[in-house]
Amino acid sequence: MSNTIKKVAVFTSGGDSPGMNAAIRSVVRTCAFYKIECVGIYRGYEGMIEGDFKPLTARSVKDIINKGGTFLKSARSDEFRTKEGRKKAYDALVAENVDALVVIGGDGSFTGALIFNEEFGFPVMGIPGTIDNDIYGTSHTLGYDTALNTVVDCVDKIRDTASSHNRLFFVEVMGRDAGHIALNVGVGAGAEEILIPEEDLGLDRLLESLRRSKQSGKSSSIVIVAEGDKTGKNVFELKDYVEENMEEYEVRVSVLGHMQRGGSPSCFDRVLASRMGVKAVESLLEGKSNYMVGLLKDEIVLTPLEQAVKGKSEIDHELIRVSDIMTT
């Protein structure tokens, strides 16, 4: 492997997600395995600019594989959006003798890395970490599987109370641009209807579906609504609309919120993080740069960062069909 890279820096950026700690651990241990140095950068690009670095050894990352969040913390950085900010960051990295970067985050974080690479020729590798699963080039982002379990567990709990009271619940889940969580949780929790950004179900069809559900003898119903659903109404407006148009139902709203991002990662996310960290470091050592590590058809593969940023993760249309059959 290449011996031009002697020190790798790893950081997390953007919204946190379960599995980020496991990915940091993997990057650190892979560096240790190949006997190269590793530093952690605190608070993402902000900390990079400020030189907030800390050497990490195999021992530094023990007992974190099962922890939610990111111990390196994350932050937005307005300064990194300026050329001056990025220059400062570059100088800090050079001063620390860092040769390459592994960034764990989402679209915005990757865009920053791309520009940084373009300006300073700094080798960068991306690992997709976000619960929304809205990144092109990977079937699963880190934290997505965990979030599915967290959300399905919440909806199961809401089902308890919905069933006890014959109520209709609108449950808003994360996903501003992508309905992956809503669709999978909707199927997994047996929701009666699912509203996602990718599909315009239309308010009329929603009412019709709820009426049919009521007539078929269902006494309670759960509708999963992605934050960015296409009806153009937010979840509280939806409630009002349905209550105005269907007196049969007493409607309740639940916005699950930030707890969806937290929690101990699932086994899948821990294993995925471990695999991605190895690939990221080994790819850098092979002289590669500007790629995102992803999982496609069960294999760990590289996608050019530029494609990852520009491409769009597609909703699973076959699963929409399955969902329709399940709610017959």
Binding residues: 15, 25-29, 76-77, 106-109, 130-132, 159, 167, 174-176, 190-192, 218-220, 227, 252, 258-261
Evaluate whether 113 touches 89 at the Cβ level (below 8 Å).
no
Q: How big is the CA angle at 130 (ends 59 and 122), to the nearest 5 degrees?
A: 65
Evaluate whether 11 touches 129 at the Cβ level (below 8 Å).
no
The correct pick among 207, 268, 288, 306 for binding a second copy (CB under 8 A) is 268
Kindly give the interhelix angle for 235-245 and 203-215, rounded to the nearest 10 degrees.
60
Strand partners of residue 234:
none
Name the residue type at position 313: S
- Binding map of a second copy across residues 171-210, x = CB under 8 A, - = no contact: -------------xx-xxxx--------------------
Which positions make up the binding site for ATP? 15, 76-77, 106-109
Backbone angles phi, psi at 253, to 5 degrees: -120, 140
Torsion of CA 152, 158, 159, 161, to 10 degrees: 160
Hey, CA dihedral for 88, 94, 96, 102, is it positive or negative? Answer: positive
Give the Cα separation of 68 and 49 in Å (integer).
25
Q: What stretches of the chain adopt beta strand conformation (E)?
A: 7-12, 37-41, 53-55, 100-105, 124-128, 168-173, 193-195, 221-226, 251-255, 291-296, 299-304
Q: What stretches of 160-298 adopt beta strand conformation (E)?
A: 168-173, 193-195, 221-226, 251-255, 291-296
Which positions make up the binding site for substrate? 130-132, 167, 174-176, 227, 252, 258-261
Q: How big is the CA angle at 78 (ends 77 and 82), to the nearest 5 degrees?
A: 115
The correct pick among 5, 30, 210, 302 for binding a second copy (CB under 8 A) is 30
Which one, 269 or 290, has the nearer CB to a second copy? 269
Task: Tell me if 218 contacts a second copy by CB under 8 A.
Answer: yes
Task: Tell me if 60 contacts a second copy by CB under 8 A.
Answer: no
Task: Tell me if 288 contacts a second copy by CB under 8 A.
Answer: no
Q: Which of 16, 99, 132, 134 is catalytic?
A: 132
- 3-class DSSP assignment, residue 168: strand
The correct pick among 270, 293, 302, 313 for binding a second copy (CB under 8 A) is 270
Give the Cα separation of 234 and 218 in Å (integer).
25
Which one, 95 or 267, has the nearer CB to a second copy? 267
Q: How far is the CB of 234 from a second copy (least distance, A)?
A: 14
Which positions make up the binding site for Mg(2+)? 107
The correct pick among 9, 16, 41, 174 for binding a second copy (CB under 8 A) is 16
The correct pick among 115, 207, 271, 301 for binding a second copy (CB under 8 A) is 271
Using CB under 8 A as the binding rule, the residues of this chain from 71 to 130 that contact a second copy are: 73-75
Span of 22-30, 81-89, 102-110, 241-249 interacting with a second copy by CB under 8 A: 22-30
Using CB under 8 A as the binding rule, the residues of this chain from 133 to 172 that contact a second copy are: 139, 145, 148-154, 156-166, 169
Evaluate whether 192 touches 246 at the Cβ level (below 8 Å).
no
Which one, 86 or 140, has the nearer CB to a second copy? 140
Q: How far is the CB of 282 from a second copy (least distance, A)?
A: 9
Task: Tell me if 303 contacts a second copy by CB under 8 A.
Answer: no
The correct pick among 51, 85, 262, 304 for binding a second copy (CB under 8 A) is 262
Q: Is 298 a catalytic residue?
A: no
Task: Tell me if 247 contacts a second copy by CB under 8 A.
Answer: no
Task: Tell me if 1 contacts a second copy by CB under 8 A.
Answer: no
Give the Cα separation of 185 and 18 in Å (integer).
17
The separation between CA 40 and the C-alpha centre of its own chain, rounded to angstroms, equals 21
Q: Which residues are annotated as catalytic?
A: 132
